[in-house]
Structure 1
Amino acid sequence: MSSATTVNPAAEKSAVHKISVRLVPFVALMFFINFLDRTAIGYAGPNGMQQDLGMTAAQFGLASGVFFIGYIILEVPSNLALHRFGARVWLSRIMVSWGIVAVLFTWVQSSGQLYALRVLLGVAEAGFFPGAILFLSMLVPSQHRSRTLMLFYLAQPLTSVVGAPLASWLIQHHGALGLEGWRFMYLCVGAPAIIVGIVAFFYLKDKPEDCPWLTAEEVASLRTQLDAEAAANSGEKGEKNVVAALTSGRVWVLSLIYFGFIYGLYALSFFLPTIIKGFGEQFGIELSILQQGLVTAIPYAFAALAMYVWSKDVTRRGLRSWHIAIPAAIGGVSIPVALFVGSPVIAIGVISITAMSIFAVLPNFWTLPTQFLTGAPAAAGVALINTIGNIAGFSAGYITGAIHDWTGGYTVPMFVVGGFMIVSATLMVLLARRGQVRVADAS
């Protein structure tokens, strides 16, 4: 396709709409299953697994976090493999692999086996999230990515809105197939990954030219925009090769910013069910397993709404540094405050503010790396950011559990979470002021 081809705005808008309808929901479904399988331990732990396996809070935190060992080590190689073999093949392979491992949790018999399977799950899942981000970025021009990534990212809070009650309902089926409730839950949430992974091999498309439902004019408009962006990113302001991307100061600062967001996200994901279960002791109310799941879903329902509204504002105004810094700061302040309120309703309200803050940031954050990365450097850089960020996945689980055992409560761990998010907000402001990323309020 000639670089001189004129972009037809109407054709480009139509093409992005078709991609948003046909591909983004399917990739979001993959992400929904991915995140549910990853965080299922948060529902299983307080509902029989810890007791059956004889685990302390620190051991539970370690089991939550060791997932990220293999995930972190293989993240960059996996994304480079995706760039080489194509998203259709590689994302399908990842999904089938993690589905097989997820099903095996049904028969775990000891904390040691649990640790081993969590590591294997991380190995199997490595590269999925950055690969999905890269996949969508290869199909959609930059000016449309905030909305596209928001639609994709909605799967994450919706995993808890739908997944928390679903997991709780499955856990109530104690004795189904001769299994404890939490084991039956693992079986039911793991198997769909295998099925959807096989379907993905036939359904996904690697580039606009492969999409039979796009017209020639729509393909031409997308290709012209994407090629122009690739040329700009490989110029003076872009990272020109994999080594440059992996050693880029911008990439590493973005990695640290993402670390703070993910620390807050996983502290919330892994321990919110446990905190809600503790409402009985803290406030003198007793909730059934299903009621606990429904209460857990409340903050994530508000988070999904906040993500939609915030990303819509980004599309209207253009990305500004405060679109990321302000929610991060609010989340950092609110998460420890939830422990000092006098009623469960107010506590859930404050936790909802935290969840809204975290999720408002995430899809807009992921538009930043592809401002200066393309091709193999993009595969490496996006994977590195996700790798460093997800070190927080290990840290949040283990450190939160260990500090809880040391101090006897969640007060100190939640202040640690808040501190990391405040640091992320500060780094975002500094990065924008130095002109290292393109935002509308920085010259």
Structure 2
Amino acid sequence: MAIETGTTDPALIKHLSRKALWHLMPLLGFLCFVSMLDRISLAFAGPHGMNEDLALTATMFGFVVGVFTIGYVLVEVPTAGWATKMGPRRWIIRVLLVWGAIQCLIAFAPNYEILVVLRFLLGAAEGGFAPAIFYFITMWFVRSYRPFGFMLIGGFYSLASIVGPILGAGIISMGNAGFLNSLSGWRILLLILGLLAIVAAIPASIGLVESPSKARWLSDPEKEQYAKILSADAEVANTPHKSVIATIRDWRPWVIGMGYFGVTYAMFTIYIWTPTMVSQFAERFGTTFNVYQSALLAGLPTLIAVAYNLVMSRLAGRRGWSGKLVASGAVIGAIGALWTIVADGPVLLLIALSFVGIAGLSGAFYMPMVSRIFAGAGGYSAIAIVNSLGASASFVSPVLTGYLIDVTGNTNAGFFFIAGLLVMSAFLGLMAERLAKEGELDDVVHHSAVGGNAIKETRVDAPRS
């Protein structure tokens, strides 16, 4: 039987989708910003008093940072069933409250052992947060708008990695100056971040709604129209609903997750090692920068990566090219990784690092493809699998890169390894796009993309297999 894929008005889709973007994405982005601040909080708490107060060696500090990821990865996939039953809105609120409370407790950790336990629990508490955010986006946007939504989330995470150290340094300095005489600066920082997560649950409970029928910012006719738009898009997407267990047994999210691991590995290398490389400019290139100039230069590759991928996300939605954009971004990143080895000036090195950052952030394009392969509880658990594999890179990247630097005395081997990983991610990105198209009943994305006009519509007699 023929299936009509263009049953709704493109102008109406654009209007309502943009309305949803403006009302939901700033709040979701803020929550992700808070999440990222919590994740990286020890990066500036450690060297600003925590390591000395708790007598942490470099190895102990590294384990404290990494044990968060262990808890995060272990819990993320198993909790998918609970999260889908509870719903993403309630799950996000629960996660904010629990992780905020644990972060507050970390501020009062008396020793290394308690700190390790609490950091593990913090990772476990936050384990289902990102998949719930991603799943929420799939519930609210047609396929042509999801790449932009996912990339916005990636942009907020990246912004936190740039702004976080500046905020952290300011709060710690204020604390050390006697803001609270009974607490040192690093403890005040962790306490404030924990309280921020708890307070963030308030706007989350007010602003997050799981369907158009509950959105107060939509009129009654718009609620009905947008519900029909989402339903029509789901019908032509023809995405199968699987159970959590069936999805875990499926090979596809695990293989796609390896591609996501590769680009995330590159992104965390930029987050962690760019400041160090900038600090070495004086020795390597004979240039000197003050602290603020160095901070700006260290954040520049990430800002360029965000700008590039936000522009590309419009193309991903307009043409359905998420896989191609992952692949092209990964290839750009591989070139950049190799370029860092031979760059003979600070400008060229920053450009090369920006290329690597472009690859890292292009990983956000994996998520809309996952949402086109799995739906329902299976969609949530597939996103959790892919995200948990990517999150594991936040532990592996600094450890392995640091080891390679210790062994070789420079960053060259680490960037060779990144180039190889990105080639793998490029291939898996193309494979993910092919998997995403297999069951769809329309040949191209049939809705107008962000900022674009209506694209080609098509009819087919049966789904591809």
Range class of TM-score, shorter chain: 0.7 to 0.9
2:249 to 242, 247, 250: 247
State the Cα deviation string for residues 45-102 of structure 1 (Å, max 9, x = none): 4555556656565554433322111111111233332221122211011112222233
Change (3 A) 1:74 1:380: same
State the Cα deviation string for residues 354-413 of structure 1 (Å, max 9, x = none): 212322x13322110111211111111111111222222221132223333444443323
1:357 to 349, 359, 368: 359
In the alignment, structure 1 residue 206 sits paired with structure 2 residue 210: yes
Change (3 A) 1:427 1:363: closer
Following superposition, the deviation at residue 280 of structure 1 comes to 5.3
Partner of 1:193: 197
Partner of 1:148: 149
Q: Which amino acid aligns with 1:66?
A: V
Following superposition, the deviation at residue 11 of structure 1 comes to 3.3
User: Within 5 A, what are the aligned runs for 1:10-409?
Assistant: 10-45=11-46, 47=48, 49-50=50-51, 58-108=59-109, 110-173=111-174, 174-176=176-178, 177-178=180-181, 180-231=184-235, 238=240, 240-279=242-281, 281-283=283-285, 289-319=291-321, 321-335=323-337, 337-338=339-340, 340-359=342-361, 361-409=362-410
Structure 2 Cα separation of the partners of residues 404 and 49 of structure 1: 25
Structure 2 Cα separation of the partners of residues 284 and 172 of structure 1: 30
State the Cα deviation string for residues 7-39 of structure 1 (Å, max 9, x = none): 344433222122111111101000011112112
Change (3 A) 1:435 1:29: closer
Q: Unmatched 5+ residue regions in structure 2?
A: 446-463
Change (3 A) 1:212 1:430: closer
Structure 1 Cα separation of the partners of residues 342 and 118 of structure 2: 36
Greater mean alpha carbon deviation, residues 3-12 or residues 336-345: 3-12
Structure 1 Cα separation of the partners of residues 76 and 91 of structure 2: 13
Structure 1 Cα separation of the partners of residues 51 and 340 of structure 2: 25
Q: What is the count of residue pairs matched by the alignment?
A: 438
Following superposition, the deviation at residue 294 of structure 1 comes to 2.8
Pair member with larger Rg: 2
Contact 1:46–1:273 (8 Å) recurs in 2 = no
Structure 2 Cα separation of the partners of residues 274 and 44 of structure 1: 17
Calculate the TM-score normalised by the size of structure 1: 0.87
Change (3 A) 1:241 1:206: same
Contact 1:311–1:363 (8 Å) recurs in 2 = no
Contact 2:263–2:359 (8 Å) recurs in 1 = no
State the Cα deviation string for residues 140-166 of structure 1 (Å, max 9, x = none): 111221222233332122213433432
Contact 2:373–2:436 (8 Å) recurs in 1 = no
Please report the RMSD computed on the Cα atoms of aligned residues, expressed in angstroms: 3.2
Following superposition, the deviation at residue 194 of structure 1 comes to 1.3
Structure 2 Cα separation of the partners of residues 194 and 64 of structure 1: 22
Calculate the TM-score normalised by the size of structure 2: 0.83
Q: Which amino acid aligns with 1:224?
A: K
3-state secondary structure, aligned to 1:368: helix
Q: Unmatched 5+ residue regions in structure 1?
A: none
Contact 1:75–1:127 (8 Å) recurs in 2 = yes
Change (3 A) 1:151 1:429: closer
Following superposition, the deviation at residue 270 of structure 1 comes to 3.1
Structure 1 Cα separation of the partners of residues 82 and 99 of structure 2: 17
Change (3 A) 1:303 1:227: same
